[in-house]
Amino acid sequence: MKSRFLKSLKILLVEDEKSLSQLLYRAIGDDFHSFTMLSNGKDALQEYIKNPPDIVITDIMMPKMTGLELAQEIRKINPNTPIIILSAYSDTDKLLSAIDIGVVKYFIKPFDPEEVLEYISSLKHRFQEYLLELCEEFTYSYEKKSLYKKGRYVFLSKNESLFLELLLYKGDEKSHGIVSNDVIQKALWGSNGNENRLRTFVKRFRTKTVKKLLKNIKNEGYYICTQP
């Protein structure tokens, strides 16, 4: 059985050796939510900015931008993204540079793909504390601001993500977690919000997730169902 933790992860592999990229993809790619492959650091940095992965796996020697240069740029954006280095060299200087940048692991080629998978599995503790258990086997990652069902990523539109965040962050103890209809409407649509539009929106959200995940207090607002 595939790990629910692994199936929640987005992996970015940066490797200019196509045969190795394909080998890793065939061996472990299906274990993750997504496994994006690129062949140089420059394109990888653009992809990282556009669609941030959970973990980056990169070769060192590549055209346009080396793996160490890529790691340095990623660290400027997010110092917490785990970066794994692949290299054909056991060069001490490169290894020390990788450590200085904050690379979490250094694999010397050739290596067993299962070792990479096993190591990534060991990183679970870095993500686990940010997960909120919701009803109906849903979880929410505060770090990634993403919703999962049984470990599988649930795609939400921009407004659906904002709606979920409102329920998770804005429902205070005084309101018993309830976010008012008025607050939701203004946050999602500004002055163009109304009750009918909200009801239609909620219906679509429940269709995409499950009805029991979202609770409604008539004429008041909504709150999210969390595990006790």
The domain locations on the chain are 4-128, 131-224
Q: Which fold has domain 131-224?
A: Arc Repressor Mutant, subunit A (1.10.10)
Provide the pLDDT for residue 228.
61
- The predicted structure's pLDDT at residue 1: 43
What are 91's two structure tokens?
Answer: 């060069």
- CATH label, 4-128, candidates 2.60.40.10, 3.20.20.70, 3.40.50.2300, 3.40.50.10540: 3.40.50.2300
Predicted confidence at residue 10, as pLDDT, reads 92
pLDDT of 174 reads 42
- Going residue by residue through the chain (228 aa), what tens digit of pLDDT does each one get? 457 788 889 999 999 999 999 999 999 999 998 999 999 999 999 999 988 899 999 999 888 899 999 999 998 888 888 999 998 876 666 666 777 777 889 898 889 999 999 999 998 877 755 678 899 889 888 777 788 888 788 899 989 999 998 888 765 434 457 889 999 999 999 999 899 999 999 999 999 999 999 999 988 899 998 876
